[in-house]
Amino acid sequence: MIRSCSACLIHSTFLCLAFVLAGILMGSLPAAADDSRPNIVLVLADDLGVNDLACYGRTDHRTPHLDRLAQQGIRFTCAYTAQPICSPSRAALLTGKSPARLHLTNYLPGRPDSPSQKLLQPRIEGQLPLEEVTLAELLRDAGYTTGLFGKWHLGNAGFGPREQGFDTVVTPPANTTPTDQEGGKGEYAITAAAEAFIEANRDRPFFCYLPHNNPHIPLQAKSDLIEKNDGAFHPVYAAMIETLDDAVARLLHKIDSLGLTDRTIFIFTSDNGGLHVLESPGTPATHNSPYRAGKGYVYEGGLRVPLIARWPSQTNPGNVCEIPIVLTDLMPTMLEAAGIDPSKTVGPLDGVSIAPVLRGETLPERTLYWHFPNYTNQGGRPAGAIRQGPWKLIEHFENGEVELYNLAHDVSETNNLAPMEKHRAEQLRQKLAMWRTRVGAQMPSNNPQFNAEQHNPLYVDQDPSHLTPEATAALTEPHWKKWRQAMNTVTQDRNSNVTPAHGDVRLHARDARVHAVVMRYEPEPYKNVLGYWTKVEDWAEWEFQTPASGIYEIEVQQGCGDGSGGAEVAIEIAGKTLTFVVQETGHFQHMIQRTIGTVHLPEGDCKIAVKPRTKPGVAVMDLRRIVLRPVTAND
Q: Return the active site residues.
A: 86, 153
Neighbour tally for 443: CB within 10 Å: 13
**Backbone dihedral angles phi then psi of residue 126, each to the nearest 5 degrees:** -85, -5
Strand partners, 602: none
Q: Are strands 367-372 and 622-633 parallel, antiparallel or unpaired?
A: unpaired
Task: Pick the closest to residue 549 from 590, 497, 603, 504 (CA basis).
Answer: 603
- Residues near 386 by beta carbon (within 8 Å), at least 6 away in sequence: 367, 368, 369, 370, 392, 393, 428, 431, 432, 435
| Cα Rg, the chain, nearest whole Å | 24
Tell me, what DSSP letter sits at residue 374?
S
Rounded to 10 degrees, the C-alpha dihedral 439/509/533/582 comes to: -30
Q: Are strands 568-573 and 604-612 parallel, antiparallel or unpaired?
A: antiparallel
* Residue 602 near residue 617, CB atoms below 8 Å: no
* DSSP for 380-408, written as a single string: --SEEEEEETTEEEEEETTT--EEEEETT
Burial of 611 (0-12, 13-18, 19+ CB in 10 A): middle
Cα–Cα distance, 383 to 61 (Å, whole number): 32
Tell me, what DSSP letter sits at residue 50?
T
Cα–Cα distance, 516 to 572 (Å, whole number): 17
